[in-house]
Structure 1
């Protein structure tokens, strides 16, 4: 396969890489991580000013009109810099849901703000018992005069503590694991009855659990038709998985570069440890895993915006499976080849390792995607 970028794509990648390189050092990242928001709002605005948050959206709403490969280029550079900003969850996942399900009025109102990075979104789809199953929804939506009343609990909502709008899945009909009967709502996190339990995730990013206690929303807060949101949730999660694979490749690339540089500079027995053949072989194994993950991330990016199909789902599951395995392997080997320093919180490699372990468990782990892939192969 001849995979070449266009001139515009090279410019897009250079813009993202230069922004991260010039404004997002490890020390600055640590300051952002320890702030109440958990990321840099100034950097978030810079992403909007440079048009990076506009990449996946239709030009009718101020977007760039980019495809999955364009998103891959931005996500990869954000992953390389370990950027904390919720590009994946706010722009790709939540923004994609609004663009797919929203009415013309909703899209005209919300998408230009997402494009300009003046509106931050968060997706509240997972529940404590769901284990990656988007149709396992116990949160209920009860029809009332003039709107809906929501009750239930959502878990691990990334950056939900500072989001302007939450996209909440809730069941308006059927049992808790039925495929039909799931709707999607726009919820103001400051509404009466909404409470958040905020905590840091494994890699330092902030997340929260959302408790909904008889939360009233208007009829206009629903995205799409009642009870018909699940296909869009699965489709947009596929786009988010493709972007996440690219982000992980960026982080894995940085991990390999850090490890190789350490092998060249750390001396033992009077010579750099990189001269020992067994360590060279382990470094080669890391690059083999990185090359495989990079190829699968490219493939995922190429199919991310295709119409929904079993073949698209199989490809995305295969990509996530390979990237999950590669992420864990490269994180483990990077720490092993560094020794004790690889575990210290003051050294950037440990943060890459934690992030890669987190990526391997978000939006479905390797076991989950292998099972989905196998089930789809059985019906071919």
Structure 2
């Protein structure tokens, strides 16, 4: 099979890689993370002008991409640079939902507006249907009460897509509504994320107009948005692994012991070969997922890929740090940032154990 990128995607990849190499590094990312919003607004504006949010939407939605491989190209390059952006949170998670419910807002998202997705809760444990935040219809609109946890890019967002339960018990798939809530109407406690960027805990105790409800049956949309976001997260992890691999190979070639580069030691060569093989297997898995992202069995591919990415990420992070020795643990050296960010990949959109169980369940149901 031919896995070459189309001419348009190749141009986007090349341009984005050159731009990010000149525009950011781990020190700038650390400084941005310590800022109020966790976002380099000028850099995000430049990325928007390059068309990154637009690549997450189809032509019918006002963008110029929207397919799985468009997501992969962009997310992998962001991962290669180790750069946290609101792309997954706004253009993919919220963007997928808003494109189906409020298509007039996609133009603003493509232009760089940040609308974060507030779905996860303190006790949800990756379960999409576990929603305890309640929404009750009143004469004044919708009364929403509850808490949302680890809402990425929240400090930089001017609105949130919020999930809340209108009917059923706390883990039923039916009865989950989605609302568009202005950021100034929620209570927020923000904090830096391990590996860059900022997130927040949201406390919701407000009334929104009746037309703030995007849909009263939002579970299917949440599934679609989550699948696309997971694919982007896996592609970002792949980019992180590629940079870690490059840093490690360079270190093995430069660091000398007993008068020769340590990369000539057979034991380290074998360990590095294992890392390279695992990264290539991870790449194949991400390609497979992006090719099946819009298919009927996408959920199965999402769990298979996320499980493999989680296991590979741990191997790559641990091996690279060990082969670097003590310098690999210092945050002054770039590897520390990339390894930390890669380690956090397993904790978003479901860890390896969650997706292993989910894969087994989905495979049994399909048999």
TM-score by length of 1: 0.94
Question: Match for 2:207 among 181, 196, 216?
Answer: 216
State the Cα distance separating 1:266 from its structure 2 match.
0.5
1:57 aligns with 2:46: no
Query: Any conservation in 2 of the 1:48–1:115 contact (CA below 8 Å)?
Result: yes
CA RMSD of aligned residues (A): 1.2
What is the alpha-carbon distance in structure 1 between the residues aligned to residue 320 and residue 269 of structure 2? Answer: 13
1:4 aligns with 2:4: yes
Superposed, 1:1-380 pairs within 5 Å as 1-100=1-100, 102=101, 106-108=102-104, 110-117=105-112, 119-191=113-185, 194-213=186-205, 215-224=206-215, 226=216, 228-306=217-295, 309=296, 311-379=297-365, 380=367
What is the alpha-carbon distance in structure 1 between the residues aligned to residue 188 and residue 36 of structure 2? Answer: 14
Contiguous gaps of at least 5 residues in structure 1: none
SS state at 2:194 partner: coil
What is the alpha-carbon distance in structure 2 between the residues aligned to residue 283 and residue 188 of structure 1? Answer: 49
Query: Any conservation in 1 of the 2:39–2:156 contact (CA below 8 Å)?
Result: no
CA deviation digits over 1:180-231, x for unaligned, max 9? 110011111201xx21111122223211100012x1111111112x1x1111
What is the alpha-carbon distance in structure 2 between the residues aligned to residue 159 and residue 321 of structure 1? Answer: 25
What is the alpha-carbon distance in structure 1 between the residues aligned to residue 47 and residue 281 of structure 2? Answer: 29
State the Cα distance separating 1:169 from its structure 2 match.
0.6
SS state at 2:4 partner: coil
Cα distance 1:204–1:58, how it changes in 2: closer, same or farther (>3 A)?
closer
What is the alpha-carbon distance in structure 2 between the residues aligned to residue 245 and residue 348 of structure 1? Answer: 21
Cα distance 1:248–1:170, how it changes in 2: closer, same or farther (>3 A)?
same
Query: Any conservation in 1 of the 2:131–2:171 contact (CA below 8 Å)?
Result: yes
Aligned length: 366
Contiguous gaps of at least 5 residues in structure 2: none
SS state at 2:188 partner: strand
State the Cα distance separating 1:30 from its structure 2 match.
2.7
Query: Any conservation in 2 of the 1:141–1:172 contact (CA below 8 Å)?
Result: yes
